[in-house]
Amino acid sequence: MNALIIIDIQLDFLPGGALAVTGGDRIISIINDLQPTYDLVVATQDWHPINHQSFFTEHPGRQAFEHIRLHGLEQVLWPVHCVQGTNGAALAPALSTDAIEAIFRKGMDREIDSYSGFFDNGKKKSTGMADYLKGRGVTELAVCGLAADYCVYYTANDALDLGFKARIIEHASCAIDPERFRQLKTEFQQKGGEIL
C-alpha cells in the first residue's frame, strides 16, 4: 500500500504568512492533483504553543534565523509561527482535504522542535504516524509540502529509518533554502531514498 504524506500546508508557511516559503502557494494545486493517485493520504500540521522555545522571541537578544543549542540540539530560531488555534496555523483553504484520513500535529512540546512528522527532533516522542501507517499496511511513502529542506526532508528521512520505501516529490515541495535542499537530496538518495 502506498501513502502520500502532505507536510504543513498552513497559512503561516504561504506568501503573506509569518514564515512564508517562496512559491509555497504554487504547489497546492499539484498536491490536490496527486491525492487521488495514492491508496492513503495523511497530513501533518505544525501546532506550537505561543511560548515555543524555537521562537526567537523566547530568547532575548537573539534574532530570527540565528542558530543556538537548545537542550543539547542545534536549533534554528524561527519567527513566531503556527501557534495553536491561530489563523496562521490553519491548513490552507485551497488544499483539498476530502481524501486526508488523518492529520498528525507536531511541535506541541514547548521544549523541543519537531521537523519530522514522525518524531520530535530529539526522537524522544512519537506522533503516532508510523504506527498508524503500518497499521494500515503502508510500505511505501511519498512526501511533499513545506518546507522541502526541513519538515519534508526530515519526515522522508525518518521514513527510511522506520523501514518504509520513501520518496520526496520535488515538484510538490518548496524549500526555504534551495542550496541546502540540494545537499539534503544527495544525502537522502545515498541512503536509499528516491527523488521524484
Question: What's 132's domain CATH number?
Answer: 3.40.50.850
Task: Please count the structural domains in the chain.
Answer: 1
- The amino acid sitting at 103 is I
At 3 the pLDDT is: 98
At 89 the pLDDT is: 98
Q: Is residue 71 part of a domain?
A: no
Mean pLDDT of 47-71: 97
Q: Is residue 175 part of a domain?
A: yes
pLDDT in tens, 122-179: 999 999 999 999 999 999 999 999 999 999 999 999 999 999 999 999 999 999 999 9
Q: What percent of the chain has pLDDT over 90?
A: 100
Whole-model pTM over 0.95: yes
At 193 the pLDDT is: 98
Q: Is residue 59 part of a domain?
A: no
* In contact, 74 and 98? CB cutoff 8 Å: no
Strand partners, 69: 74
**What domain range includes position 11?**
2-46+88-195
Mean pLDDT of 42-52: 98
Identify the H or E element spanning 152: none
At 24 the pLDDT is: 97
Please give the sequence-ordered ranges of beta strands (E in DSSP) within the chain, or none if there are none: 2-7, 40-46, 67-70, 73-76, 100-106, 140-146, 165-174, 194-195
What is the four-CA torsion angle of 167, 77, 128, 13, rounded to 10 degrees? -60
Q: Is residue 81 part of a domain?
A: no
Q: Is residue 149 part of a domain?
A: yes
- φ, ψ at 172 (rounded to 5°): -115, 25
Q: Is residue 74 part of a domain?
A: no
Which cell numbers in the block locate residue 180?
Answer: 541546502
At 132 the pLDDT is: 98
Active site positions, annotated: 8, 106, 151
* In contact, 119 and 104? CB cutoff 8 Å: no
Tell me which DSSP letter residue 110 carries: T
- C-alpha separations of 17 from 28, 33, 37, 149, 173 in Å: 15, 24, 30, 18, 17
Q: Is residue 53 part of a domain?
A: no
CA distance 174 to 191: 21
Q: Is residue 73 part of a domain?
A: no
At 95 the pLDDT is: 98
Across the chain, mean pLDDT equals 97
Contacts 24+ apart (CB under 8 A), 19-25: 19/78, 19/79, 19/81, 19/82, 21/146, 21/147, 21/174, 21/175, 21/176, 22/174, 23/174, 24/146, 24/147, 24/174, 25/92, 25/94
pLDDT in tens, 1-39: 999 999 999 999 999 999 999 999 999 999 999 999 999
